[in-house]
Amino acid sequence: MLQYADNTSIQSVLTLKAILKCFELASGLKVNYSKSKVSGVGVNINQMMVFASILNCDIMKTPFSYLGVTVGGNHKRCVFWEGMLNKIQSRLSSWKGKSLSLAGRLRLIKSVLTSLPLFYVSLFCMPTTVVKEVKRLQKNFFVELELREQKIAWVAWDKVCQSKDKGGLGVIDLRKFNLALMGKWIWRLKYEKSSLWKDILDSKYGRWRGLRSQGQNCKESLWWRDIRKVWNLEECGNDFEDKSWWEVGDGKEIRFWEDK
């Protein structure tokens, strides 16, 4: 439950608790306060302690985990990705590599790569260090490496990540997979007509034209900076700028001398 208010008081918290109590009486369901937490943005810690005591719950600190994704942390730091890396490492453990055939290890790598980090890579640009660590875990599992052994990988991992028609094994390149999912947000900015998140970004950054701005704005979020980098990225061929154009339509969103 979210409450957007600049003057949240003790009385409003008591009212909220009364509403929850009415919900319990009407539905027969009971709110588990021991599993509930209260958090505030720009709220004094002493006031938060009073609110928590009224609601009989703990205070939630940032960063916190929601649906398996860390919220409120800095995704530019490697510590932000530790949870995801630990999950991948547990799934691609060495004892599984010894008990599975080459085809089985390949199938497990594909399934783990597309499921475990999906929420992370669809929201945040992965640091280069994290991408290298995931590749290392995959390579070690695929060729059955252990810490005390040094075996030779006869094929470069970039070749393994190519499609089967190009001689590879079809393993997803995590870096390109991440860029593709981040690029989908750019596509959604254009084609989603009535979305709250889109309206907020349009009002704050100025629609698509905010992606063209050069340099960094101190008021920009880290996520928006990543989107702008994807917009101007040319490492996978042409960037979004070269592959996009405007349709005139009614002309309300077109700048005649600037837009392609």
What's the angle, vertex CA 160, arms to CA 159 and CA 164, rounded to 5? 95
Q: Is residue 193 part of a domain?
A: yes
Percentage with pLDDT > 70 across the chain = 79
77 and 139 both lie in a single domain: yes
CA dist 61 and 69 (Å) reads: 15
Note the pTM of the prediction, 2 decimals: 0.70
Pairing mode, strands 69-71 and 64-66:
antiparallel
Q: Where are the alpha helices (DSSP H) in the chain?
A: 10-27, 45-55, 82-91, 94-99, 102-115, 118-123, 128-142, 157-160, 174-191, 196-205, 209-212, 222-231
212 and 168 housed in the same domain: no
- Rounded Cα distance between 204 and 4, Å, is 18
Q: Which of 30, 45, 61 is the last residue before a domain boundary?
A: 61
Same domain for 45 and 107?
no
Structural domain of 192: 182-231
Residue 38 · residue 60 · CB < 8 Å: yes
pLDDT under 50: residue ranges of the chain? 146-148
Query: Of 20, 36, 61, which residue is a domain's last?
Result: 61
> Rounded to 5 degrees, what are φ and ψ at 160?
-65, -35
Clarify whether residues 159 and 75 are in a common domain.
yes
Q: What is the pLDDT of residue 30?
A: 82
Same domain for 148 and 70: yes
Indicate whether 77 and 167 sit together in one domain.
Answer: yes
3-state secondary structure of 186: helix
Residue 243 included in any domain: no
**Tell me, what's the pLDDT at 147?**
45
Closest CA to 80 of 113, 129, 132: 129
The pLDDT score that the predictor gives to residue 1 is 56
| Residue 116 DSSP code | T
Query: Given this model, what pLDDT does residue 218 score?
Result: 62
Which of helix, strand or coil describes residue 81? helix
Contacts of residue 60, Cβ cutoff 8 Å, sequence gap at least 6: 37, 38, 39
pLDDT in tens, 186-226: 888 877 777 888 888 888 887 666 676 655 666 778 888 88
- 93 shares its domain with 135: yes
Q: What's CA 20's distance to the chain center, in Å? A: 32
Tokens of 63: 């960063």
Which of 172, 191, 206 represents a domain boundary (last residue)? 172
Number of domains in the chain: 3
Q: Which residue has the tokens 């006869």?
A: 154
